[in-house]
Amino acid sequence: MVPLFLLFIISICTTVGAHLLFKKGVLGLGELNFSFSEIFSLIWQIVQNIWILTGAFLFVISFLIWLFIISKLQLNIAYPIIIGSEVVLVSLASWFLFKEYLSFFQILGILFVVLGIFLLSSKA
């Protein structure tokens, strides 16, 4: 049996990885046009993009692990821990990998999220 803590780590990493791959894929596509007349062209571009497809695969893995996690733990504990961890990691990774800007208040928010994750984890 895989420990619940390890499943949390895998779920968080696969979701964060998916988001980062989506961003990498979208950067290659450029600005997307969501007009009705362009929807089939957009879908075709997306299904040909290996970064986006790999991100979708990671999302499926994360989804399956998530179902197992919430079968074992209260949703009101598991969800904030997972989402908070993902917010922190995606923010830091996009700052590092994509050179996206983090303001003082965003960094302060990340610190509050980390504190919240710690408090929720200690209750679980």
CA distances from 91 to 5, 57, 73, 101, 117 (A): 22, 21, 26, 9, 15
Tokens 């290996």: give the residue: 50
CA distance 35 to 27: 19
Tokens for 83? 């989402």
Per-residue pLDDT for 1 more than 70? no
Model confidence, pTM: 0.87
Per-residue pLDDT for 34 more than 80? no
Please state, for a pLDDT cut of 70, what percent of the chain lies above it: 98
- pLDDT tens for each residue of 72-101: 999 988 999 999 999 999 999 999 999 999
| Under 8 Å between Cβ of 98 and 28 | no
Question: For position 124, what pLDDT does the model report?
Answer: 52
DSSP structural state of residue 36: G
CA distance 47 to 39: 12
Question: For position 120, what pLDDT does the model report?
Answer: 81
pLDDT averaged over the chain? 91
Task: Count other C-beta atoms under 10 Å from residue 121's C-beta.
Answer: 15
CA distance 56 to 45: 14
Read off the pLDDT of each residue in 56-72 and give the average, rounded to a whole number: 96
- pLDDT tens for each residue of 38-55: 788 888 888 999 999 999
Question: For position 123, what pLDDT does the model report?
Answer: 58
CA distance 78 to 10: 14
